[in-house]
Structure formats: C-alpha cells, structure tokens
Amino acid sequence: MAAAHTLNADYTATAAKCVLLRAIYRLGALLFLLLMRRRIGRLAGLEHLPRQGPFIIVANHLSYMDDFLLAYVVRLCCGQRLYIPTNTKAFKGVLRSWLHLAGGAVEIDPADRETSNQALRQLVRDGRIVLMFPEGTRSDGTRLLPFKFGAFNLAIDTGVPLVPVALLGTHQVLPKGRLWPVAGAQASAVVLPPVLPGDVHGRDAVVMRERCQQLISAHVLCGNGSAPPPLAEATARALAERAEAHVEALIERGPETIRPADLWPVFRLAMLCQHARRGCCAMQVQVFRAWGFWLLCAPRLLAPLLLLRFHRLAALALQRDAQQPFVHYVLGQFHLRAPWLAGGRRQQALRALAQAYGAAPAYGVPPERFAISYAEALLRNGHPEQARVVLLRHFHAAPGA
C-alpha cells in the first residue's frame, strides 16, 4: 500500500484514477438505489449519528450488503462517503480492485501493522467516516463473534467517537455466495448511542469493546430481526426536526439566496425518514416547504414540470393535517408569486395565507411570521385597510419612536 501522505482525496495513487473511481461510485450508488433500496426495511437510531466526520462506525458483519447499507445511510444522513478498511487480499484483479476502491474500500495489509495503523489514523485526521467490523469476518446472524481491538484502539488514539450499529437481516437479503438480492427479504439497522473515549475510565479499549458489544448484541440477539418500532418513531421525529432546522436556517439566511443544492439535505433526510416511518406528517411538511423554494428558484423552463409534484405534495400534506400553517403559507406564496398562466390566483393566495395566519398560534408559531405575506395578499385583493390593520397589530412603532 502507498504511504498515507502520498494518497489523494480518494486514497488512490493517481488523479486520473480518482476521477474514474468517482464515476464508478456514482454509477454504483444509482444502481443501489434502483435495486437495493427496496431491500432496506426499518432504520432506527439515526439521530445518534454525528452530523459529520470524523467518527468510527463499528457493526456486526453478516453480508456484503452491510457495506452498501451503511454507505447509503451515511451518505444521506451526513452527506459524506463511508470509508472501509479492507484486507489487501480483496484487491486481487483489476476489476475487483477498482470496484472495491470505488465503493470506499481502503487497502490495508494486516501483515504490515504499522503502515495500516498510519493509514487508518490518516483517514480519521482527514475527517472521514470509517466503518470497521470488529468481528473481522462474517457471522451467521445467530451470535456475535469475539470483537477484535483495532477499532477501539484507533478511537482511543485519535479521540473520535465510536458509533455502534446493529445490522439485522442483511445476510437474508444477500446471503454468502449470492450476487443478487433475495426477493421479498429486507434488512434493518439500529444506530446506537456513541461511545466516547473520554467517557471510558482510563480510556480502556477493553471497556469500550465490551460496551459496544453489549449494545449491539442487545439488538442482534433479541430475535425479532427488525428495528423496534418505538425507536423508529423517535428517529422519524428527529429527522423531521433536523429537516425543519435546515429549512429555517435557509430562511434566516435569506429566501432569495436559496439555491436547489441548498435543499438537497432536506430531500436526503426525507428518504431516510421513509425507512423509519412512512408518511411522517412532520417530514411531509418540510419536504413541501423545500419543494416550494425549489419551484421558486428553478429555471422558468423547468418550473412547469415541477408544478404537478408541487400540488401533489400539498394535497398529501393537507390530507394529513388540513390546518397546517406552513403548508398554507407555501401555497399562498405560490399563488402570490406565480403568474396567472402558471396557476397563480390572488383569491386563493388570500385564502391560504389567511388560514396560515389564523392557525399559527395553535401550532406554536408566532402569527407575525405570516403577517407581511397576509397583508400583501389583502392589498392585492383590494383590502388596503385590512392590510394596514394586520401590519399595525404586529409591527406598530413603539411610543415616542
């Protein structure tokens, strides 16, 4: 293996190879979405994943699907690639070697422990998210094999969190020796609370290993083969809150500065939320808000193609909660801003914004958030006096100002 300091951002020796590997990675990610996403069942505990690297994931090992499932979760949840230290024996042959590298594998030679440890520390210093299987090989799913110390020593040396993950049923989706997923089978995962080196007395690798093994075995050996529904419900709520915080941060920065790329984190979180709880109302609201901003900042030629999806998302959100103020607000903004040929209607804007303004207190939202848009809708519909009253109610000047 090349020395760690000579490797580029994708841990390969040449820039040209790096470009090709990225293309293979994107193609592989697309194929995974098309072929394997339906094989992912319930995901829980995603709120325990740090927002970004560096950190180390330790998981039980059942199948080659383990790598793909966790790479999928990390990509959507953290927006980063997952790097997987892999035995140099797996890199025999050009095609096999390139497929491993494109999937995030980093070549490790167990016979050269010093170089391997240096490469692993380099991954962490570069802020990467590293996946390690402390069992060292695949188990049969009925028990955990003894955990080795590599991941725990690395966490202590670098001071980064360990995130235990219990993988369930991946060996049923992609059994050993099979290249195509089993029809109807699904795999689940439970992300468990991080174990921090500083929380362990004396920074003892033995204690960290035992704690992670206990956390993982509590789910692997429980026998139900899926993530517990209460944990998944909590995950759906946490993902929706995170999506809402992202949208609010974009609004605080300035709605006019929002670009389509700024909204991708919301859509990524929504994809994960589908694995925790399908039809989560809170997430549907945030997706609709993000879609509304996307519609406003999309090129004019593309906007008509987005309208059908926009209205469908509105109908789905209102079907779950007919009074939801943010959904009515986005609808009102659409009707205020869109031209008549695109479906914008001033009367509908007034009705939607009046609903958002009136329902806001019941949802714990200050009504002044919608007051200016509501007043604008009143003004455009020929009610200047009512618009003035709404604005004075919330934004009147202080006495003596």
In this predicted structure, the answer to whether residue 241 has a pLDDT above a threshold of 70 is yes
pLDDT at 357: 96
Cα–Cα nearest to 209, from 132, 138, 136, 149 = 149
Amino acid at 62: L
Confidence label for 50 from pLDDT (cuts 50, 70 and 90): very high
More confident residue, 57 or 111: 57
CA atoms within 13 A on the CB side of 306: 18
| pLDDT tens string 1-38 | 433 334 444 555 455 566 777 777 777 777 777 777 88
pLDDT at 161: 94
pLDDT at 399: 45
pLDDT at 64: 86
pLDDT at 204: 83
Give the pLDDT mean for 143-163: 92
- The model's pTM is 0.87
pLDDT at 284: 95
pLDDT at 398: 43
Measured distance CA(4)–CA(116) in Å, rounded: 9
Measured distance CA(316)–CA(284) in Å, rounded: 8
pLDDT at 1: 40
**Is-contact 348 335, C-beta < 8 A?**
yes
pLDDT at 5: 37
Phi, psi dihedral angles at 188 (to 5 degrees): -130, 170
More confident residue, 184 or 303: 184
More confident residue, 13 or 84: 84
pLDDT at 31: 75
For 5, 267, 332, 378, the CA distances from 328, given in Å and listed in that order, are 54, 20, 6, 15
Three-class secondary structure of residue 41 per DSSP: strand
Measured distance CA(395)–CA(390) in Å, rounded: 9
What's 340's DSSP letter? Answer: G
Measured distance CA(39)–CA(109) in Å, rounded: 33
**Is-contact 65 36, C-beta < 8 A?**
yes
Is the bond preceding residue 54 a cis peptide, omega within 30 degrees? yes
pLDDT at 151: 93
pLDDT at 167: 95
Q: Which two tokens stand for residue 278?
A: 């399908």
Sheet holding 105-108, edge to edge: 40-44, 187-191, 162-168, 55-59, 129-132, 82-87, 105-108
In this predicted structure, the answer to whether residue 353 has a pLDDT above a threshold of 90 is yes
Residue pointed to by tokens 């293979």 = 24
**Is-contact 239 272, C-beta < 8 A?**
yes
In this predicted structure, the answer to whether residue 340 has a pLDDT above a threshold of 90 is no
Give the pLDDT mean for 345-367: 95
pLDDT at 299: 78
Measured distance CA(344)–CA(346) in Å, rounded: 7
| pLDDT tens string 267-287 | 999 999 999 998 899 999 999
In this predicted structure, the answer to whether residue 223 has a pLDDT above a threshold of 70 is no
> Containing H/E element for 370?
helix 368-380
* End-to-end CA separation in angstroms for the chain: 72
In this predicted structure, the answer to whether residue 202 has a pLDDT above a threshold of 70 is no
Confidence label for 78 from pLDDT (cuts 50, 70 and 90): very high
For residue 129, list its beta bridge partners. 55, 82
Pairing of strands 105-108, 129-132: unpaired
Residue 68 Cα to chain centre, angstroms: 15
Q: What is the largest CA-CA distance in the chain?
A: 82
Mean pLDDT for the chain? 86
Measured distance CA(171)–CA(64) in Å, rounded: 8
Cα–Cα nearest to 105, from 128, 83, 129 = 83
pLDDT at 164: 97
pLDDT at 243: 97
pLDDT at 247: 96
